[in-house]
């Protein structure tokens, strides 16, 4: 059986049986005076038998909307986690609290995510500890708004990070990349900052391509040409990453530009480079479903590369043109779960 992504494995109990293992997740309950005590125990006793699971402090099993009792529970736990973070002098405890908030916050309703994002902005603005700021960016990403632009820019432009305060998997480059992506979700208020990042990418240590697509996602077509040229429209070597970003540009293109991109995609779908052809197979339908449907069907069965075939099949399933397999159907279920929570 094909291995499922970790996020799907995490969410299977939430979406199928509506219950969660008591050793890992804390069930919904009214706020009690010992809420902070439970949080501290989870943060201070990781992995110990019988101890609450820290990453589950904000997770509630079962799909559907949260009721008032569950909302009160989550808000109480979030408050307790924030207090534990602020009051502890132990760096490891603070890092565990940040992880619990960023992981569990994905399952929370809007009021909790907004509260956690405010803490994230505070951390990004005041801390020069690499892991702490990485956690702060993750918290902002739970509910980014225009008022968080300055905090995200602080995380990107800071040049006084404490030496060796990053882990190998959370480097300063990754923090900057995550902050740029989060800025895009802040919408129009982030456009001036993203324009600055694009124009001074080398100085700030960010990717021009990432900044260009972030501008597009924020609602600006100011640097769309850079993405199109990176994808090969200008005649250069196409960047697979830029091909993945082409669907973000599509709604902003003129009729003439859409025709140019479609002609480019026709070439990319026949490209000798398997990586380029594979990326085109995965994203062509996101640009023009009607024009490329038959071409992607053909690639899904007849291409010489298994990777191209897989990407073509994934694109067809996502577009609803062929029946979804078990993993894709489950991914849709997970996506609906998070969309519902984010609408609350």
- Nearest-10 crossing angle of helices 274-287, 255-268: 150
Q: How many of the other CB atoms lie within 10 Å of CB of 303? A: 19
pLDDT band at 8 (very low <50, low <70, confident <90, very high): very low
pLDDT at 5 exceeding the cut of 60: no
pLDDT (tens digit, 9 = 90+) per residue, 74-118? 999 999 999 999 999 999 999 999 999 999 998 889 999 999 999
| Nearest-angstrom CA–CA distance, 54 and 47 | 9
What gap in Å lies between CA 310 and CA 319, rounded to an integer? Answer: 14
Q: What's the burial of 125, exposed, middle or buried (CB within 10 Å: 0-12/13-18/19+)? A: middle
What is d(CA 305, CA 291) in angstroms, rounded to the nearest whole number? 22
Looking at the predicted structure, is the pLDDT value of residue 340 above 80?
A: no
pLDDT reported for residue 6: 42
Q: For 36-50, 131-145, 204-218, which range has the lowest pLDDT when averaged over its residues? A: 36-50
User: Which are the contacts of 126, defined by CB distance < 8 A and separation ≥ 6?
Assistant: none
The burial of 34, by beta-carbon neighbours within 10 Å (0-12 exposed, 13-18 middle, 19 or more buried), is given as exposed
| 67 pLDDT tier (thresholds 50, 70, 90) | confident
| Distance (Å, whole) CA 150 – CA 25 | 35
Rg of the chain in Å (alpha carbons): 22
pLDDT of residue 342: 62
From the list 258, 301, 251, 255, the residue with the least C-alpha distance to 281 is 301
**In angstroms, rounded to a whole number, what is the distance separating the alpha carbons of residues 56 and 36?**
14
pTM over 0.75: yes
User: Does residue 17 carry a pLDDT above 90?
Assistant: no
Report which of 109, 95, 2 is spatially closest to residue 58, judged by C-alpha positions.
109
Tell me how far apart the alpha carbons of residues 212 and 226 are, in angstroms, rounded to a whole number.
7
Reading the block at residue 306, the tokens are 């298994």
Question: Which run of H or of E encompasses 228?
Answer: helix 224-230
pLDDT of res. 88: 95
DSSP state letter for 170:
B
Both structure tokens of 71: 């909302």
Residue 30's pLDDT is: 47
Per-residue exposure over 68-97, b if at least 16 CB sit within 10 Å of its own CB, e if not: eebbebbbbbbbbbbebbeebeeeebbbbb
Cα distance between residue 126 and residue 123, in whole Å: 5
Instruction: Supply the DSSP string of 198-221, one letter for each residue.
Output: HHTHHHHT--HHHHHHHHHHHT--
């Amino acid at each position: 059986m094909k291995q499922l992504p970790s996020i799907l494995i995490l969410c299977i109990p939430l979406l199928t049986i509506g219950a969660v293992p008591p050793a890992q997740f804390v069930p919904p309950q009214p706020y009690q005076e010992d809420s902070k005590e439970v949080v501290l125990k989870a943060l201070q006793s990781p992995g110990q038998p019988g101890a609450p699971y820290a990453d589950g402090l904000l997770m509630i099993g079962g799909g559907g909307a949260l009721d008032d009792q569950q909302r009160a529970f989550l808000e109480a736990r979030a408050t307790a986690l924030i207090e534990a973070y602020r009051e502890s002098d132990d760096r490891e405890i603070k890092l565990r609290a940040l992880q619990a908030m960023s992981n569990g916050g994905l399952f929370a309703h809007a009021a909790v995510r907004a509260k956690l994002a405010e803490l994230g902005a505070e951390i990004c603005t005041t801390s020069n500890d690499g892991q702490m700021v990485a956690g702060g960016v993750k918290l902002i990403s739970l509910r980014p708004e225009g008022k968080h632009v300055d905090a995200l820019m602080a995380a990107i432009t800071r040049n006084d990070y404490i030496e060796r305060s990053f882990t190998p998997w959370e480097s300063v480059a990754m923090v900057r990349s995550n902050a740029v992506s989060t800025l895009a979700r802040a919408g129009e208020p982030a456009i001036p900052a993203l324009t600055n990042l694009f124009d001074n990418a080398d100085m700030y240590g960010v990717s021009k391509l990432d900044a260009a697509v972030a501008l597009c996602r924020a609602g600006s077509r100011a640097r769309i040409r850079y993405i199109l040229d990176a994808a090969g429209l200008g005649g250069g070597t196409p960047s697979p990453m830029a091909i993945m970003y082409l669907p973000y540009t599509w709604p902003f293109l003129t009729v003439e530009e859409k025709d140019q991109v479609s002609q480019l995609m026709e070439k990319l779908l026949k490209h000798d480079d398997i990586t380029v052809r594979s990326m085109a197979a995965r994203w062509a339908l996101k640009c023009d479903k009607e024009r490329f449907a038959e071409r992607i069907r053909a690639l899904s069965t007849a291409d010489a590369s298994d990777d191209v075939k897989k990407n073509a099949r994934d694109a067809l399933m996502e577009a609803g043109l062929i029946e979804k397999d078990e993993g894709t159907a489950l991914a849709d279920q997970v996506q609906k779960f998070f969309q519902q929570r984010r609408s609350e």
